[in-house]
Amino acid sequence: MSAGRVRSLSEVRITHGAVVALAVVLVMAVAVIGVVTGATGARGEETSASVASTEAPVDMYAAMADIAAGLAALPAPTTTTVPVRRVQTRPAVVVDPSDPGVWDALAHCETGGNWATDSVPGFAGGLGFANGTWSSMGGTEFAGSAADATREQQIEVAQRVLESAGWGAWPGCSSQLGLR
């Protein structure tokens, strides 16, 4: 049964142990009610002899034995084997970072292939370098901003970023392109 809400009574599954426990509780409740109502009436007065004489006394032990025999006659619960769910994984993608086509595809995803873009504040170039990343990975040896560097220079810096941070440096597009 799922952790969700049960939609109908037919979806409820009760174990044999729970049925036995429920039966015992019900028999005990009937026994307590019988003892309480047999000793006094609804208002505390003694019951009339006519009412007490018309009802047959109930042997609680015999009633419980009958219930237990009925439960024992129930078919044994069946076990259901649920197959192990296999998680499908994508095969490892082997990409040669020195292949410019990989970087062209990434740039197309990141910036529409515009290697000179600086339209998003804090990011520049075809691969959408953060300004801090461009500087920390040595991009300023080529240009102050990735947008002012050539495609080849940006790819060289991107290869450094890839070695340092992996394809996760471009989380959305690298996933979309199947690079990670």
Entry pTM: 0.49
Q: Where are the alpha helices (DSSP H) in 40-139?
A: 49-54, 60-72, 100-111, 131-136
Q: pLDDT digits over 27-43, tens only?
A: 887 777 766 666 555 55
Specify whether 104 is located in the same domain as 160. yes
Say how far apart CA 57 and CA 55 lie, in whole Å.
Answer: 6
pLDDT at 92 over 80: no
Q: Roughly what angle, to the nearest 10 degrees, separates helices 60-72 and 16-39?
A: 160
Question: Is 92 a member of any domain?
Answer: no
**129 strand-pairing partners:** 124
Which domain CATH number covers 120?
Answer: 1.10.530.10
Tally of structural domains, the chain: 2
User: 40-44, 46-50, 169-173: which has the highest mean pLDDT?
Assistant: 169-173
- Domain around 159: 100-176
pLDDT at 50: 46
Question: Is 26 a member of any domain?
Answer: yes
Q: pLDDT digits over 142-152, tens only?
A: 999 999 999 99
Question: Is 78 a member of any domain?
Answer: no
Specify whether 106 is located in the same domain as 162. yes
Question: Is 54 a member of any domain?
Answer: yes
Residues 107, 126: contact at Cβ < 8 Å? yes
Question: Is 83 a member of any domain?
Answer: no
